[in-house]
Amino acid sequence: MNHPSMTSSASKVNVESNPWQRFGGGPRVEPDATLIHRAIEAQAAVRPLAVAAEWQGQSITYGELNRQANRLAATLRQQGVATGDHVALFVERSIPMLVGLLAVLKVGAAYIPQHVRITPAAQLRHIMAVAQVRVVLTLSELAQMIPLTTQQHCIHLDEFIRTDSVASDELNTAGAMSSPESLCFVLFTSGTTGVPNGVRVTQRNVCNILLTEPGNLGMRPGLKVGQILNIAFDMAAWEILGCLAHGATLLIRGQDIGQTAEQCDVLIATPSILATLDPVRCRQVKVVALAGEPCPQALAERWSAFCTFYNACGPTETTIVNTMQHYQGGGALTIGKPTPNNTVYVLDDAGQLCGPGEQGEMWAGGDGVTAGYLGNPELTAERYRPDPFLGHGRMMFRTRDLGRWTAQGELEHLGRVDDQVKVRGFRVELDSVSAALESAPNCERAVTLKFDSRHLVAFVYPATTDVEAARNCCEARLAYYCVPSLIIAVEAIPLTLRGKVDKRLLLEWAVAHQAENARTQQPVQA
């Protein structure tokens, strides 16, 4: 993308006529707090006996959560943790996890969450090295899985809580010099080279989405919020911090996601996870928010019929989500409008603003834009650029998502730049193929992948989907080169540990299917 062209065009921006000025900017709203842990502390002060979280038959009140976090914060200071440091939160879902998370924020440090049982030791080692971690918070049964060096100290959160003999809350954390620009957490996302990149998320970033509407999802005392996602996934912060900042009760799941979901009032998930749940058994759910991958229309219709349904979008680098649509059924499913204090620019290849109906690449600006990648200034410079529209030193982020504005001022998500593939010399958008397949009767989900330079392969769910009917729908709506050569009906769409479609495994299935076809002399169609 030609950034000098984009910069020079910014000086000509007409405030009244340009798309981002008309509907590319979210409303200006002041969050209720500038530090997310202060919002949690406020709930503890007002409702100390309210239940903050439940997990495997155990519970903890807001008052006790705050007191235990104060104790741990004092211990962290004794271990030399200071404002601006990084503390590893290498745990699994539990109540002690919440104590550790809150304590780190109280000392002005940033926590780095990882689910130890499912994260390779080599990746944990890489994270600790990049973040210069000196203190690791974990659980006693997980400690042996963490590759510590002699420079690192480990605190077992469960044992720390059990040895509590302090009856009062005299430990004071007011000395922590946090500011809205202080880091709240660092999330390591999958890098294109296979090396995870640490996204630096600030307190301002977090408060902006969690403490304003609609990102607060109506969370309030008396409601139950599910904690079902991988704790290293940015949307888990939406569950955890969002719930605690608003005084609701966090239901931390065990092995059975459905069992927890059925008890929730507020549910945050990826479309792939939500598709595994039975809406008939989840009638207590009042609010659902989806993000992380495209949402099938049928899924949105099914859940929006009985609860408030949000379809949202935004990479980790823009803090959880930066656009949301309140979908009420029967209309166009989009990713909505920018959330408060955020902006979205749809730009063409020359960096010029696109008008309604024109496809371009989405760049994100405003208070959700994070502080770049930890220890990787080159990648930060590549993906984050000065925002010529907001100016004043603000930055914007290249999302690599394709989109266009509707006439109503909402954003249509048209897939990833990475999902535009060449097949037989033609450019194909994989999400468009999946959408065409999903229009077939009884097809609830479709995933399309590039198999090789000449072929696409698609997977449709459920297994009872009429493959030929799906193929016919695709042929009727798209050019011949967009029609998958192989369509496989499956009993389930496999998911990664973060709840998204496992495309690598699907390609392995396609290879196995092709091998079986070859064995039975049924080659893939040319």
Lowest mean pLDDT among 55-69, 186-200, 227-241: 186-200
CA 408 to chain centre: 26
CATH of 36-212, one of 3.40.50.12780, 3.40.50.300, 1.20.1440.230, 1.10.3720.10: 3.40.50.12780
Q: pLDDT grade, residue 258 (50/70/90)?
A: very high
| Mean per-residue pLDDT of the chain | 90
CA 73 to chain centre: 28
Angle between helices 234-245 and 95-106 (to 10 degrees): 80
When pLDDT is averaged across residues 409-431 and rounded to a whole number, the result is: 83
110 in Cβ contact with 83 (< 8 Å): no
**What's residue 13's pLDDT?**
39
> How far apart (Å, rounded) are the C-alpha atoms in residues 456 and 458?
7
DSSP assignment letter at 157: H
Q: What is the DSSP string of 450-508?
A: E-SSS-EEEEEESTTS-HHHHHHHHHHHS-GGGS-SEEEE-S---B-TTSSB-HHHHHH
User: Domain locations in the chain?
Assistant: 3-29+341-416, 36-212, 424-519
When pLDDT is averaged across residues 341-346 and rounded to a whole number, the result is: 96
> How far apart (Å, rounded) are the C-alpha atoms in residues 103 and 68?
8
Q: Where are the alpha helices (H) located in 54-181, listed in sequence order?
A: 62-78, 95-106, 121-131, 157-162
pLDDT in tens, 127-142: 999 999 999 999 999 9
Q: pLDDT grade, residue 481 (50/70/90)?
A: confident
Q: pLDDT grade, residue 397 (50/70/90)?
A: very high
**What's residue 420's pLDDT?**
74
**What's the CATH architecture for 424-519?**
2-Layer Sandwich (3.30)
**What's residue 15's pLDDT?**
36
CATH of 3-29+341-416, one of 2.40.70.10, 1.20.1440.230, 2.30.38.10, 3.75.10.10: 2.30.38.10
| pTM, full prediction | 0.85
205 in Cβ contact with 182 (< 8 Å): no
Pick the most confident of 21-25, 189-193, 349-353, 365-369.
365-369
Please identify which residue in the block is written with the tokens 């690791």: 136
In this structure, the dihedral spanned by the alpha carbons of residues 199, 296, 281 and 245, taken in order and rounded to 10 degrees, is 30
Instruction: Answer positive or negative: Cα dihedral of 518, 523, 524, 526.
Output: positive
Q: pLDDT grade, residue 72 (50/70/90)?
A: very high
